[in-house]
């Protein structure tokens, strides 16, 4: 899990990208962000990198949690 609460664009995506670099294909990573831009930025980044968004949900604190399955592009 990548906790990016309180970080503004582009930091949630940068932190998620770092985690994805070290992840094996098929791993699911979740980024939790309070930045409204993450709702659009994370799926766009995933699409460009060959990853797949598998879930998006609101946390009890209002943060957005987006889970991404890492593709072979890593």
DSSP state letter for 62: S
Helix (H) or strand (E) holding 45: helix 38-49
Distance of CA 62 to the CA centre of its chain: 16
Tokens 């890492």 label which residue?
Answer: 70
Per-residue pLDDT, 2: 98
Classify domain 2-70 by CATH number.
Answer: 3.30.110.40
5, 9, 19, 69: the active-site residue: 9
Q: What pLDDT, in 10s, does the model give residues 10-51?
A: 999 999 999 999 999 999 999 999 999 999 999 999 999 999
61 given a catalytic annotation: no
User: pTM of the entire structure?
Assistant: 0.94
Quote the CA–CA distance of 46 and 36 in Å, as a whole number.
17
- The number of CA neighbours under 13 Å toward the Cβ of 41 is 20
pLDDT, position 72: 83
């Amino acid at each position: 899990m990548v906790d990016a609460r309180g970080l503004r664009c582009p930091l949630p995506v940068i932190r998620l990208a770092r985690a994805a670099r070290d992840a094996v294909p098929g791993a699911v990573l979740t980024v939790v962000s309070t930045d409204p831009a993450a709702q659009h930025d994370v799926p766009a980044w995933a699409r460009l990198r060959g990853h797949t968004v598998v879930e998006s949900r609101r946390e009890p604190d209002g943060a957005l949690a987006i889970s991404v399955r890492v593709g072979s592009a890593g």
